[in-house]
Amino acid sequence: TTHSTEPTATTESTERTDGLAAGTTHAGLQAWVDEVAALTTPDEVVWVTGSEAEWTRLTDRLVAAGTFTRLDERKKPNSFYAASSPNDVARVEDRTFTCSAEEKDAGPTNNWMDPQEMKAIMRGLYAGSMRGRTMYVIPFVMGHLNAENPMFGVEITDSEYVVVSMRVMARCGVNVLRRIEELGDDARYVPALHSLGAPLEPGESDVAWPCSDTKYIVQFPEERMIWSYGSGYGGNALLGKKCYSLRIASVMARDEGWLAEHMLILKLTSPQQQVHYVAAAFPSACGKTNLAMLAPTIPGWTVETLGDDIAWMRFGDDGRLYAVNPEFGFFGVAPGTNETTNPNAMRTIERGNSVFTNVALTDDGDVWWEGLENEPAHARSWKGEDWTPSSSELSSHPNSRYCTPISQCPILAPEYDDPRGVPISAILFGGRRKTTIPLVTESRDWTHGTFMGATLSSETTAAAVGQVGVVRRDPMAMLPFIGYNAGDYFNHWIGIGKDADAAKLPKIFYVNWFRRDEDGGFLWPGFGENSRVLKWVIERIEGTAAAVETPIGHVPTPESLDLSGLDLTPEQLDAVLAVDVDEWRAEIPQIEEWFARFGDNLPVQLRVELDGLKARLGL
Ligand code: SAT
Ligand code: MN
């Protein structure tokens, strides 16, 4: 199949019957679209409407191109399988840049290049990069269209896979464009340009997963602008997600006094019908989606989901911090997802309307991945090879993903769609650590909680290209996503606490589901059992649960955790809650080294917290 089989005229007239003219009355937006088209020279320009007919047209085209395989309607209706090129499977952090005017504003944790220099390089790459392809213009809004200040974006892309995925992950289409047009010059939108960097020459046939060996994922923070090139993978190409909602939004949040964070949002209801909303930050592929959709094992408690990846938090008139999920879908890690670890994710995806990338395709037209029930006797692996249970290779890439509408989640809290968001009672920071970090620790106050977040550490996962399993600091689980100097970001967090009524701020906790015993086994069962930790957190907020004060904060007494019906020995419980002074003393040089990277930009309050911790450890 080649691109030239698509009849241009039909596409355009169908767009018109969808009710959207090929263009916009918003002069600034039209000028930018025209400028990009002149630079990238696509065969045609299509404005994305969000209609059903458009979905069908795009998915049909992706099937014809070999990018998508339609799954069996009886198993996963209106759903598709895709396999990427093996060199385009994850976010590329070493190719990701924060191009602030001054290098110091990118800080020690981001790659930086002078914006003019970067633009010159990328204009060279974009020149003619959409040749032989269709350029799509996707008007979208992160968060609610009826928010007080709707957070618009417009993504231009030459990838149908990106259009289809964006339609799942963000509120997109003609309604958004109309609102941008109504607001005219008052509409604030982030221009986000994406090209696969794989132009087609006349007659050249396309590959199933076009992309380029040269990749750039670039944020221009002062201009609130994103340029991405060479990759079709989620976090590199669905520009509303990490690029906008974290990297660019964190800069907006700094300037405007709010927080853009890598956090799930969940609603917890106690047997007494008390409702609390919890936000939680974990690095990619550490179980955020599973926690967001947790099925509690303790009787009488319910969890509902509002979001699994990103939270924007602003102060309400009542002085509390309110969170919204700017996204509209889940882009979850597939391997390990099953009826036990995340039954609600299973219900969400089986309703269909989903895209599965880099998992295995079964012979009966369904998807499978490591950890899922009903292992097939034979499947096609993500690399397109024959796979059987005796194969030495994995059927699915460890960072393979499902992309599915949030509205299909059976435990979706209706408040997810409230433009004002929900008041947050607790913030959890968590990482993946074999040692040192207890199951749960309560901070003494906001600044101490900020210290916990700023020193958060985790073993690396497959969500980013690079070595897996090494401990790295991942502040607030935002290391790859802070859009400015991380020292200034810590200072912003401290400032949020300073300006607020302390009694109304969320309480901050540090959790670790991943501690191991000497034999390498997990000390804590995790998944649904994490509801026991959530219960303790809520009881601490309500003042009814006991804790012991330790050098690192308040840790549960063994009796204060509800362990009824759980098969855990007293030794395991002690080990998972232990604050081992020697382990913590060994942690201090790593924290010192981490803080040293920030030089004068490290807020003095964090230095004071570290000194206090050292003193309590007898150092
Ligand atoms: O970067 S993605 O959004 O594609 C996935 C992740 O790392 O959380
Ligand atoms: Mn994430």
Last residue of a domain, one of 256, 281, 300: 256
Per the annotation, where are the binding residues for Mn(2+)?
A: 242, 262, 309
Q: What is the pLDDT of residue 460?
A: 86
Mean pLDDT on 8-15: 41
- Tell me, yes or no, whether 161 and 282 share the same domain: no
**pLDDT tens-digit map of 495-532:** 999 989 999 999 999 999 999 999 999 999 999 999 99
Is 303 a domain residue?
yes
Band of residue 86 on the pLDDT scale cut at 50, 70, 90: very high
**Do the Cβ atoms of 558 and 571 come closer than 8 Å?**
no
Cα 294 to Cα 478, 511, 568: the distances in Å are: 23, 15, 20
Q: What is the pLDDT of residue 446?
A: 98
- Tell me, yes or no, whether 231 and 334 share the same domain: no
Q: How many domains does the chain have?
A: 3
Q: What is the pLDDT of residue 499?
A: 84
Which mutation among 309, 356, 399 tests ligand 1's pocket best, with the greatest number of atoms within 8 A of CB?
Answer: 309
- Percent of the chain past pLDDT 70, that is, above it, reads 97
Cα 175 to Cα 17, 50, 418, 543: the distances in Å are: 15, 9, 18, 46
Give the burial string for 55-78 (b: 16+ CB within 10 Å, else e). Answer: bebbbebbeebebbbebeeeebee
Cα distance between residue 524 and residue 534, in whole Å: 14
| Phi then psi dihedrals of residue 268, to 5 deg | -115, 130
Weakest mean pLDDT among 1-15, 272-286, 449-463, 596-610: 1-15
- Catalytic-residue membership of 99: no
Residue nearest ligand 1's atom 5 by CA: 235
pLDDT at 106 over 60: yes
- Tell me, yes or no, whether 205 and 340 share the same domain: no
pLDDT at 348 over 60: yes
Band of residue 470 on the pLDDT scale cut at 50, 70, 90: confident
Band of residue 162 on the pLDDT scale cut at 50, 70, 90: very high
Instruction: State the average pLDDT for the chain.
Output: 95
Q: What is the pLDDT of residue 15?
A: 45
Residue nearest ligand 1's atom 1 by CA: 235
Residue nearest ligand 1's atom 3 by CA: 235
Residue nearest ligand 1's atom 2 by CA: 235
**pLDDT tens-digit map of 437-450:** 999 999 999 999 99
pLDDT at 188 over 90: yes
* Ligand 1, CB cutoff 6 Å, lining residues: 91, 234-235, 241-242, 284, 331, 463
Mean pLDDT on 601-618: 98
Q: What is the pLDDT of residue 13?
A: 41
Per the annotation, where are the binding residues for GTP?
A: 285-290, 401, 432, 527-530
- Nearest ligand (C-alpha, residue 169): 1
Per the annotation, where are the binding residues for substrate?
A: 91, 233-235, 284, 399-401
pLDDT at 295 over 50: yes
* Distant-in-sequence, close-in-space partners of 538: CB < 8 Å, separation ≥ 6: 268, 270, 274, 276, 425, 426
- Tell me, yes or no, whether 153 and 233 share the same domain: yes
Last residue of a domain, one of 392, 408, 424: 408
Is 522 a domain residue?
yes
- Tell me, yes or no, whether 443 and 546 share the same domain: yes
- Tell me, yes or no, whether 312 and 324 share the same domain: yes
- Tell me, yes or no, whether 379 and 431 share the same domain: no
Is 13 a domain residue?
yes
Range of the domain at 334: 330-408
Of 172, 286, 403, 409, catalytic = 286
- Tell me, yes or no, whether 374 and 487 share the same domain: no
Is 76 a domain residue?
no
Burial of residue 113 (number of CB atoms within 10 Å: 0-12, 13-18, 19+): middle
Q: What is the pLDDT of residue 398?
A: 95
Q: What is the pLDDT of residue 4?
A: 38
The model carries a pTM of 0.95
**pLDDT tens-digit map of 19-75:** 455 799 999 999 999 999 999 999 999 999 999 999 999 999 999 999 999 999 999
Is 73 a domain residue?
no
- Tell me, yes or no, whether 252 and 264 share the same domain: no
- Tell me, yes or no, whether 507 and 612 share the same domain: yes
Last residue of a domain, one of 213, 233, 256: 256
